[in-house]
Amino acid sequence: MSLFLIAALPFLGAVFPALLIRAGRNASSSAAGFTTLLAFIGLMLHAPAILRGETIQARFDWLPGLGLNANFFLDGLGFLFATLILGIGLLIILYARFYLSRQDPMGQFYTYLLLFQGAMVGIVTSDNILLLLIFWELTSLSSFLLIGYWKHLPAGRQGARMALTVTGMGGLAMIGGMLILGNIAGSYDLTVILQNKELIQASPLYLPALILILLGCFTKSAQFPFHFWLPHAMAAPTPVSAYLHSATMVKAGIFLMARMWPVLAGTPEWFYIVTTAGLVTMVIGAVIALFKDDLKALLAFSTVSHLGLITMLLGFGTKAAAVGAVFHIINHATFKAALFMSAGIVDHEAHTRDIKRLGGLRHLMPVTFTIALVASLSMAGIPPLNGFISKEMMLEETTHTYWLNSPYVIPVLATLAALFSAAYSFRYIAHVFFGAKRDDYPAKPHDPGFGMWAAPAFLVILVVVIGLFSGKLVGPVVQAAADAVTGDHPKVYLKLWHGLNPALYMSMIAVVGGMILLAFHRQLEAIWNALPRPEAKVLFDRLIAAVTVTADRITAGLHNGSITRYGLIMVLFTVGISYMAFATGTLSEATRSVQSVGILPVLGWIALVVAVVFIMQHHRKRLIALVLIGVVGLIVSLGFNYFSAPDLALTQISVEVVTIILLLLSLNFMPKDTPIDSPASTRIRDGIIASVAGLGVGGLIYALMTRDFAAETISGFHLANSYKGGGGTNVVNVILVDFRGFDTFGEIIVLGIAAMVIFALTEAVLSRSRIRGYLLTRKPDLPQDGDAHPLMMVVATRVMMPVALLVAAYIFFRGHNLPGGGFIAGLIAAIAIIMQYMASGFGWATERQKIQYHAIIGSGVLIAAATGMGAWFNDKPFLTSAFGYIHWAPLEEFEWATAALFDLGVFLAVVGAVLLALESLARFAWQPGITSEHPMDINPARDDAAEPTKEA
């Protein structure tokens, strides 16, 4: 089975549980189980090749220019983790079917679970770090949904937010580290990066990349000081805890450290950062776990401790330590998932997880007791179970590792952590299952049905079998995974008896010491509770509160709703960085002389300056300001024409006409005058800043126009390839519909969306608000002549209508070789129709409207998209145009390009968008009434202002 399909199956299957829940809980769980089983079978088909040392690859170059390729690969390490993800996922699906109550939305649960499962499979099989980052963030999002699955529990919601905050921040750091790593290696493909150890470690960016990547790994795998989020995630349902915190989510950081081991390990920086973090986490997690009374909290901190153990082994940087880390990943997944499920069974049947309210359950729940006993002893490192072997391998490696030239620090602390690990493991058994039966259980405990204990029973069987036959059963898998981690072929020795060595003595000390700690647990707990110690959750909450307050203050200071302030900040920032660039850069001598200026440009410049000055003087008079803005637009259009840019001139003048009309309609809903909001001092300040910015922009333009460019500009390429590449001599149009057709395609979509938004706003706001009441009851300010539609204007516009449309068609068809094109033609056609609205009235024009403007916009976008997709049938990229000469009798031979169809889509989208915006605003433009009160001045408390009266 293709790796693409294996990675996609969980995502594809996530739809079915939610859909099939109406067919029953069994149908929903079966759909989830079948999807996972199918992916697991597909994975196992690759097992023989993986165990032979081969690597399976699947490649798809998605965006090669950006280095973003959908490449997957499967080696021993990926195979190991994918097996845990899908294998334990199957068991969790079975367990959850019987654990969740009928009140729990099971279909939703399995959908979230499969989404998370797919994200994890994507992480461990990705061969592109950008793709891996996408899956990495998906695990944070999907785990947020799973942890907060019980939405009615405040602890669940807070635990989900905490997990998302911590792992999300780490993920952001890791994105930066991965991008640096890809930049150093010159590729974002993992298989390439893993072959460039010397290049990466020799780079000055190695340390920043290492720290950023490790931040992502440590937050995801709950390493100190980010360990606090994992115990609070225990508010999730037990199937979630068993899955996320034994075999999947928290192992993602472990996986990434193991994956990057060949290129990041082996340096002092790696050793001290990773080893120290793992060692501290292992000790702290074990100590805290001993004094937790909540079963899942105890297991959560034990998970933190064991994750620290694996991290420490990876930090050692030796091949033997890497083998031990790989083996403990398997062992921890088996006994910890079984323990979480057994804790869930106790909670499910006894209705409590509080150890102090339990005890004596071995008599009432013998099956659960057996499962918990075997799994706990394995966690404590008791032979002949699998946990003993990997614990011995860990202790053996500590005896060969020096920390700051001391041979004792790591062995002593590792033994201490193992001692506490044995103590909390023994406590889990003794305080929950041993002792006398009680008569005050919240509910009468008993073993559940087979469906609930089958999954943990299978796992504890693996615990025993792996312990007894580790070399034959999992040795090849460990060997393949260790080969992938180290990039070499380390020797793997998995056996129960390693002889009398320091590791055995350290293990014996840990076991005996654990029993002693358990015997004095009550006294130690009293001391523990009396000791002052920082509470991670309290610190986190205070940090979040402080960050929130700071962010609120900054936001309130910067984003206070004042457009003037926003403009001030933007202009000051632009001026500042521009001055810095000018002061620190170099400016060559001018190479071009200033050309002579004729009388017409001078007159145009004077008109422009006068118009701008008058706008500044009369900006509070909105109608006058709009007229003056139109003058500015006209001068700009003449300027384009003067500089031999007829396309831009045509576009500018057409846009000016449409914009002025739409703004006039918009002003209809606003007061005529803008209120004075700023004092004179503020306006003087703003004027000075604007002057400085304007002079700076003018100086920059002058500097550019009086100097030659050192390198050839892109305009030369467009001029040389316009005809032979796009089939047109109008370079501007060819750029729009061919070279940058994708930009144009996006722009017409945005234009259509903007028109839709205007339509929606007018429907939702204007038609149901006080503004509509104002418009319906408004009295004109000036006397009217009584003729709303003058006959001369009506006749003139109707005569001009076909002429204008003919001009639009002419502009459209000539656009590929001469000034014109679909955008300009669309504006001209829209203006022709707007004239009918203006002359004959909204009602008259609407009655003759045969096609909805929404449909015109949609048709334009679809035609443009279909034109672009047509290139695919010729094995060309999207929107690649074709052109040639066509002879249709009796016409002469003429040139035709497929870009004309794309331009037709642009034409329709522009016409539809402009007219939809016009129609949306014009519907409420004017109706005669009896009052001139403005909507902004209407008292909101007046109910009669919302709708016009009958008399009106």
pLDDT at 64: 72
Instruction: Specify the long-range contacts of residues 931-937, CB closer than 8 Å, at least 24 apart.
Output: 931/777, 931/778, 931/779, 932/778, 932/779, 932/780, 932/781, 933/774, 933/777, 933/778, 934/671, 934/774, 935/669, 935/769, 935/770, 935/771, 935/773, 935/774, 935/775, 936/670, 936/671
Angstrom distance (rounded) from CA 645 to CA 770: 46
Lookup: tokens for 35: 């999807």
| Cβ neighbours, 10 Å, residue 401 | 21
Mean pLDDT of 919-935: 52
763 and 654, same structural domain? Answer: no
Reported as a pLDDT band with limits 50, 70 and 90, residue 336 is very high
Q: Which domain holds residue 292?
A: 265-519
Q: Is the pLDDT of residue 740 over 50?
A: yes
Mean pLDDT of 326-330: 92
Instruction: Give a yes or no: residue 125 inside a domain.
Output: no
Who wins on pLDDT, 845 or 168?
168
Averaged pLDDT score across all residues of the chain: 85
Angstrom distance (rounded) from CA 853 to CA 309: 66
User: At which of 469, 495, 519 does a domain end?
Assistant: 519
pLDDT at 773: 61
pLDDT at 704: 85
789 and 926, same structural domain? Answer: yes
735 and 645, same structural domain? Answer: no
463 and 342, same structural domain? Answer: yes
pLDDT at 943: 39
Instruction: Give a yes or no: residue 528 inside a domain.
Output: no
Lookup: tokens for 230: 């994992």
pLDDT at 832: 87
pLDDT at 67: 67
Using an 8 Å Cβ cutoff, are 640 and 652 in contact? yes
Each residue's pLDDT tens digit, 416-461: 999 999 999 999 999 999 888 888 888 888 888 898 899 999 999 9
Instruction: Give a yes or no: residue 911 inside a domain.
Output: yes
For residue 474, the 8-state DSSP code is: T
934 and 817, same structural domain? Answer: yes
Who wins on pLDDT, 497 or 29?
29
Mean pLDDT of 884-911: 80
Each residue's pLDDT tens digit, 866-877: 888 888 888 788
pLDDT at 269: 92
Instruction: Give a yes or no: residue 366 inside a domain.
Output: yes
769 and 637, same structural domain? Answer: no
Instruction: Give a yes or no: residue 198 inside a domain.
Output: no
Q: Which of 27-41, 135-149, 493-507, 694-708 has the lowest mean pLDDT?
A: 493-507
286 and 389, same structural domain? Answer: yes
482 and 340, same structural domain? Answer: yes
Mean pLDDT of 934-941: 39
Give the DSSP letter string of 690-711: HHHHHHHHHHHHHHHHTS--SS
Mean pLDDT of 611-635: 85
Mean pLDDT of 127-138: 90
Q: Is the pLDDT of residue 534 over 90?
A: no
pLDDT at 275: 94
Q: Return the H-helix or E-strand segment holding 883.
A: strand 883-886
Instruction: Give a yes or no: residue 196 inside a domain.
Output: no
Q: Is the pLDDT of residue 74 over 80?
A: yes
pLDDT at 413: 93
Which pTM does this prediction carry? 0.70
788 and 858, same structural domain? Answer: yes
pLDDT at 179: 92
735 and 649, same structural domain? Answer: no
Residues 6+ apart with CB under 8 A from 647: 730, 732, 733, 819, 820, 821, 824
Angstrom distance (rounded) from CA 593 to CA 832: 45
User: At which of 624, 654, 671 does a domain end?
Assistant: 671
State what percent of residues in the chain have pLDDT above 90. Answer: 30
User: At which of 519, 535, 564 does a domain end?
Assistant: 519
617 and 514, same structural domain? Answer: no
Using an 8 Å Cβ cutoff, are 459 and 375 in contact? yes
Using an 8 Å Cβ cutoff, are 405 and 495 in contact? no
Instruction: Give a yes or no: residue 941 inside a domain.
Output: yes
Mean pLDDT of 91-106: 89
**Phi, psi for residue 894 in degrees, rounded to 5:** -140, 160
**Count of the separate structural domains present in the chain:** 3
User: Exposed/middle/buried for 687, CB within 10 Å: 0-12, 13-18, 19+?
Assistant: exposed
Beta-ladder partners of 931 = 778
Each residue's pLDDT tens digit, 406-415: 889 999 999 9
Q: Is the pLDDT of residue 702 over 90?
A: no
State what percent of residues in the chain have pLDDT above 70. Answer: 92
pLDDT at 845: 78
Q: Which of 135-139, 618-622, 644-648 has the lowest mean pLDDT?
A: 618-622
The label of the residue with tokens 């030796």 reads: 318
Q: Is the pLDDT of residue 929 over 70?
A: no
User: Exposed/middle/buried for 621, CB within 10 Å: 0-12, 13-18, 19+?
Assistant: middle
